[in-house]
A and B are shown apart, each in its own frame.
Chain A
Amino acid sequence: MVRLIKYVLVLVVVLAGFGFKQNYDTNAKIKAVYIYNFTRYFEWPDAKKSGNFQIHIVGTNVSLLKELNDMAAKKKVGTQSIEVLNTPAFDGKSKPHMLFLLPEASKSLSDAISKFKGKGTLIITEKEGAAKTGAAINFVIVENKQKFEFSKISTNKAGLKASEDFKTLAIAVD
């Protein structure tokens, strides 16, 4: 009586999609945010309030350099443009506002301290115990989080002033 209609169910093969952000370095972004914040908590000597605001990275960290260069393109420190320098090793030729010795360059800490004593360079490291041996700021990992140690003594020796509330945000070593 009734014509049966042939029906074919459409079969769809579903493939799992992988969109893994394999090369994104979260630590680099976090460090960049810290570094930009540091520009707001320190006061540099008058001699360093003109020209570009220089951030010198010693060692290799491609992701961090990218983040800092992105920051430099968008932000200023007061009226100063940000300039990011990078060298594989510490050569003492620059006179930056910030000097970040990456782990592989931390052996140059004592050279950097003597070179920049009283010259208004904020020395940042990422090496266990470095804040107690002359670095003003030292990145550390605490409970899976990136934090930083702060030495007021080293900051003063570098000819810089930190704002009063900065110490409360840091792990103070002195």
Chain B
Amino acid sequence: MNNALKKYWIVVVSLLIGLGTPVFGQVDKYNRAIECFQAQNYDCAKSAIDSALLGKELRNDAETWQLKAFIYWELTRKPEQKFKLYSAYRDSSIKAAIISNSLKPTPEAFIKNNSIIKKHAEAYYNMCIKFLYDSLNYEKSNIAFKKYKENYSKVDSTFDFKAKDIEFYSAVGSRFSELYNSNPTKSEYGEIAKVALMKVIELDPKNISANINLGIVYYNQGVGLINQMSIDTPLDKLEVIQDNSNKLFKQSLPFMNKVYSLDPKNLKALESLRQIYQALNETEKSLEFNKKLEDAKQGQ
């Protein structure tokens, strides 16, 4: 073999070795990722799976992407990540599960991928509850709820979210109306409650709780205008305040009347109607509902 031929073979063998190394290296990294995952060392697993997916060979492997989805899911469970609304780990996990599903996985793997996406959806649902109750952050809670729906529909595109919408907006409405009613100076709470309760009523017009809560918010807004006015309010301004509070009392009426029509012995509705008519200076109607209230109480 002459020198030229020798050089040629050296180049060919080197190229083959060079091309082969990443294949074996990526498989090693995949195996390493599994080891780390099983040892619950998720940072190590993340590093290994990310490396494994850098090359071309495993990029089209459904199982590798699924492993990534599970590793990143575990990373989102860390305390500092668990309630993170915008989490790169969560996004990566969901994306990996979707890619895995697109690569024709086995039926069992397909179900597992969907279960991961569902878990993320549920995590968003838990976040929306946490933001609502712990930090009173309606905006974040609403975003989390939308993300819950968006992700859940990825695994079940036919799922009917109506019941969940009612549940969520009822929770927002009751939470914020409760806060507003106990402190009417927090008008922003009243506005959030109104928007949420209106959504519930759009979805479920006969929802008694939403109708009552919305009626109460409007009534209390009217009362708040009068309660908060200063004793030395000028007469011309007093006229305007009365106009505005009456508008709110009248806005409260249809919701309370709705409840009354659905449940004529509903004590809250009867009590509310008595108060609203009293505030509107309609004494006869107020007395009529007072009598109905007393009768309903005795009938209980």
List residues of A whose CB falls within 8 A of some B CB: 1-5, 7, 9-10, 12, 14-22, 24-27, 29-30, 32-34, 36-37, 67, 70-71, 74-75, 141, 144-146, 169
Contacts and interface: CB of A to CB of B under 8 A. Distances in A.
Interface in B134-181: 167, 170-171, 174-175, 177-181
Closest 6 CB pairs of A and B: A19-B181, A17-B178, A14-B171, A16-B209, A141-B281, A16-B174
A2 B112 contact: yes
Instruction: Pick the most buried of A2, A4, A10, A74: most chain B CB atoms within 10 A of its CB.
Output: A2
15 contacts: A2-B37, A10-B129, A20-B181, A21-B223, A24-B227, A26-B223, A27-B278, A29-B226, A30-B226, A30-B238, A36-B232, A37-B234, A144-B281, A145-B246, A145-B281
A68 to B, nearest CB: 9
Contacts of A7: 119, 122
Query: In which size bucket is the chain B interface?
Result: 35 or more
A70 B231 CA distance: 9
Nearest to A7: B119
A37 B235 contact: yes
B210 to A, nearest CB: 8
B272 A20 contact: yes
Nearest to A2: B70
A99 B75 CA distance: 76
Q: Is chain B's binding surface mostly helix, strand, loop or mixed?
A: helix
B217 to A, nearest CB: 9
Given A12-B133, A22-B275, A26-B223, A169 B216 contact: no
Contact of A34 (B38, B74, B235): B235
Contacts of A17: 174-175, 177-179, 181, 213
A84 B179 CA distance: 35
Given A30-B242, A34-B235, A37-B234, A18 B115 contact: no
Contacts of A12: 129, 133, 171
Contact of B174 (A5, A14, A24): A14
Contact of A36 (B212, B219, B231, B245): B231
A2 B210 CA distance: 44
Contacts of B289: none
B61 interface: no
Nearest to B229: A33
B126 interface: yes
A20 B133 contact: no
Contacts of B245: 26
Contacts of B238: 30, 33-34, 37
A16 to B, nearest CB: 4
Contact of A71 (B213, B219, B231): B231
B233 interface: yes
A21 B272 CA distance: 9
Contacts of B280: 144
B125 interface: yes
A102 to B, nearest CB: 14
Instruction: Pick the most buried of B179, B238, B271: most chain A CB atoms within 10 A of its CB.
Output: B238
Contacts of A2: 37, 66-67, 70, 112
Contacts of A19: 177-178, 180-182, 216, 220
B53 interface: no
Contacts of A145: 239, 242-243, 246, 281
A22 B66 CA distance: 58
Contacts of A75: 231-232
A103 to B, nearest CB: 10
B180 to A, nearest CB: 8
Contacts of A32: 231
A18 B267 CA distance: 12
Contacts of B235: 34, 37, 169
B171 A26 contact: no
Nearest to B268: A18
Interface string B38-62: 1000000000000000000000000
Contacts of B231: 32-33, 36, 67, 70-71, 74-75
Interface in B199-248: 209-210, 212-213, 216, 219-220, 222-223, 226-227, 229, 231-236, 238-239, 242-243, 245-246
